[in-house]
């Protein structure tokens, strides 16, 4: 993407949150990452998200993240839009990665600085400092998992900053979704940050979703999204309900390690997680395998086991 206008025009649809496949010793598997990217682009995903919370960015150094940005953009080119997570607790690191992401043609995805007792005024000022650094604009990432939840009122306040293209909304409480969907639709691109509960936000007029579990079940989650996109809520709900057992495991065992385990069972490039996360153990993998086999046996899913 070349500028903010192009970012706004192209930022919609279903984006695969591409997990970062690490080797057992923690090294990057860039070849595996490239294969994962090619898989979802080939299936028709509208975009990808790199290095987010489930991409394990807190376990990477800034130089590692910068190298990953460059390698990913070399693979993708301009075929689909790419969100590049530039979140950091140190504003200097966030600024460096935000500028680089925009220079490479990606859309920087910025969280509030996750430091203790940061105020709404400081968060607003931070986003206003980040936005001009990227020629493609920035995406606000409201990520409660980092310990800070942006209120709809604060998001609306930040949205006035030049260069803010959209919001990836991780607070999926009904009140927050209702406020954002009705007050910011048409002003910002609105993305549901979770594939666990995207039907409601999409019905309310959100522009798209980002999906971690589509790394493991890209065919099924893509089909569910396309159904809701064309207004077929019944089919979307039926397809979404099919993989509920896997969502239950993901809640029990944690992410992204559960998705990585399912990817590995399918012959995809899930790889390992980096410390402090831990790969699933044998009993947990057996539980994941049982669900993957169940999905593979359902002709509606398109899921197949590794040969």
Residue 234 bears catalytic tag: no
CA distances to 42, 123, 137, 209 from 17, in Å: 15, 25, 20, 10
**Residue pair 135/4 in contact by the 8 Å Cβ criterion:** yes
Locate 107 and state its tokens. 């859309």
Strand partners for 84? 50, 108
**Residue pair 26/259 in contact by the 8 Å Cβ criterion:** no
Give the Cβ contact number of residue 282 at 10 Å. 7
CA 31/CA 49 separation, integer angstroms: 17
Options 12, 54, 135, 141, the catalytic residue? 141
DSSP character at residue 122: H
Report the candidate in 143, 296, 137 with the shortest Cα–Cα distance to residue 216. 296
Give the Cβ contact number of residue 87 at 10 Å. 24
DSSP character at residue 196: S
CA 66/CA 108 separation, integer angstroms: 12
282 Cβ contact partners less than 8 Å away, ≥ 6 residues apart: none
CA 6/CA 149 separation, integer angstroms: 28
CA 74/CA 231 separation, integer angstroms: 35
Options 168, 187, 244, 304, the catalytic residue? 168
Residue 141 bears catalytic tag: yes
Active site residues: 141, 168
């Amino acid at each position: 993407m070349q500028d903010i206008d192009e970012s706004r025009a192209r930022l919609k649809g279903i984006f695969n949150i591409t997990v970062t496949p690490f080797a057992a010793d923690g090294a990057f598997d860039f070849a595996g990452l490239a294969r994962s990217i090619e898989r979802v682009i080939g299936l028709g995903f509208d975009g990808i998200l790199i290095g987010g919370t489930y991409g394990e960015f807190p376990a990477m150094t800034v130089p590692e993240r910068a190298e990953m940005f460059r390698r990913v953009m070399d693979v993708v080119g301009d075929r689909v839009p790419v969100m590049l997570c530039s979140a950091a607790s140190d504003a200097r690191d966030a600024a460096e990665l935000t500028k680089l992401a925009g220079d490479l043609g990606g859309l920087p995805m910025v969280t509030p600085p996750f430091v203790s007792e940061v105020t709404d005024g400081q968060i607003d000022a931070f986003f206003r400092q980040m936005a001009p650094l990227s020629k493609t604009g920035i995406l606000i990432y409201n990520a409660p998992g980092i310990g800070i939840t942006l209120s709809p009122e604060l998001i609306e306040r930040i949205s006035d900053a030049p260069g803010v293209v959209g919001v990836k909304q991780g607070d999926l409480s009904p009140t927050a979704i209702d406020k954002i969907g009705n007050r910011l639709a048409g002003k910002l691109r609105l993305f549901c940050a979770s594939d666990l509960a995207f039907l409601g936000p999409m019905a309310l007029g959100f522009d798209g979703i980002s999906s971690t579990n589509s790394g493991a079940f890209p065919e099924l989650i893509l089909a569910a999204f396309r159904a809701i996109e064309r207004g077929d809520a019944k089919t979307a709900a039926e397809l979404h309900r099919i993989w509920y057992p896997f969502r239950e495991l993901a809640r029990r065992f944690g992410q992204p390690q559960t998705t990585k385990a399912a990817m590995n069972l399918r012959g995809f490039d899930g790889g390992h997680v980096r410390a402090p996360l831990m790969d699933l153990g044998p009993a947990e993998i057996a539980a994941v395998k049982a669900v993957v086999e169940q999905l593979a046996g359902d002709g509606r899913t398109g899921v197949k086991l590794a040969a």
